[in-house]
Amino acid sequence: MICPEVKEYKHIFGPVPSRRLGRSLGVDITPFKTCSYDCVYCQLGRTTEKSILRKEYSPASDVLEEIRAKLEESPAPDFITFSGSGEPTLHSRIGNIISGIKKITPIPIAVITNGSLLWMPEVRRALSGADVVLPSLDAGDEEMFQKINRPHTGVNFEKMLKGLNLFRKEYPGKIWLEVFLVRGVNDSETEVLKIASLMKDIRPDRIQINTVARPPADKSVRAVPLERLKKLAELAGAEVIAEYRKRHTIHQKTSQRSDVLAIIGRHPCSVEDIQEGLQITRDRSEKYLAELLREKSIIAEEVEGRVFYRMNVFKDKNKS
Ligand code: SF4
């Protein structure tokens, strides 16, 4: 239930500027770091609940009510996107939520997933109503899969790959496959060619190569330099996902400090991310960030000359 005066949302955040999806309204339906993987590059830290158990983590009706309320108060986003702090296909009613959104709005729906559960027929069915599905494939074999994605014991490389192939055969929408490369881990030409050879069967509509653009929780994880990334992308017939640069002119009056905190809680953000995602002025973004820094709700970190803000996970622990 949303309080009409305060309008603090539990299951949605943003809109956030997305490099692939424009202004994207985030839908977060699994608890923080409940995931079937524990990727070395995850921006949210180590997975605390590694699971392949599907359940209704948040009531589908509450999620739909929040989406309806948000769309009434703000300019329409470019996409409504399932993503956030855990793996969305672990939610057993994601299919119902997708069909519920379709009844409310024609805004396209995207699902960002690690793709690990697509071998389950019920997961493939649940995603059939989405307009775009963005799964991951970061490894060309079991050894690299274990090294980079550190999956739950119930998922292995063969199973995951079979799921992706079956999904391609059944799913009528667009598949944009993301390959996340980490320097010194999976960025060799041999590894990228292995991944590329698997694309022949998966036939994604787009192959998108990504690397560390925001501070990962594990500081030893490093980005692949842009020139090398471009070379590897060419090798794989892929595109490099460019940094989001689109500018918007509408200014939203309703965004509050809680919206800023909700975005930062899902992934580290720069001041520009806040400004562009929430469509508020730079002054207002900086004011909210300064307040949140003062009260130690967030911390600032510099990565390659850019400042990013992330949740201060120690705040409450320090109090006790
Ligand atoms: S799949 Fe996503 S949320 Fe899960 S560990 Fe990997 S990067 Fe983090």
Q: For the chain, which ranges sit under pLDDT 50?
A: 1-6, 244-253, 318-320
Q: What's the 320 CA to ligand 1 centre distance in angstroms?
A: 29
The DSSP line for 100-118 is HHHHH--S-EEEE---TTT
Task: Give me the pLDDT at residue 252, please.
Answer: 46
Give the residue from 256, 241, 37 showing the smallest Cα distance to 147: 37
Ligand 1 centroid from CA 275, angstroms: 25
45 Rama sector, left if φ>0, alpha if ψ -120 to 50, beta otherwise: left
Ligand 1 atom 5, closest CA: 38
**CA 93 to the chain's CA centroid:** 19
Select from 83, 87, 150, 178 the residue to mutate for testing ligand 1; criterion: most ligand atoms less than 8 Å from CB.
87
- Tokens in use for 103? 């009844």
What pLDDT, on the 0 to 100 scale, is given for residue 295? 87
Q: Residue of the nearest CA to atom 7 in ligand 1?
A: 42
Q: How many A from CA of 179 to the centre of ligand 1?
A: 13
Check residue 305 and give its pLDDT.
Answer: 76
Domains and CATH numbers, the chain: 12-246 (3.20.20.70), 252-320 (1.10.10.10)
Residue position matching structure tokens 């539990």: 10
Ligand 1 pocket member 38 (CB < 6 A): yes
Closest Cα to atom 6 of ligand 1: 39
- Nearest ligand 1 atom to the CA of 85 is 3
Cβ of 37 less than 6 Å from ligand 1: yes
**Nearest residue to 14 via CA among 110, 87, 156:** 110
| pLDDT value of residue 240 | 94
* Nearest-angstrom CA–CA distance, 301 and 305: 10
Q: Which residue CA neighbors atom 3 of ligand 1 most closely?
A: 86
Cα of 137 from ligand 1 centre, angstroms? 12
Read off the tokens for 107.
Answer: 């805004």
E runs forming strands in 195-297: 206-210, 239-240
Tell me the CA–centroid distance for residue 227 and ligand 1, in Å.
26
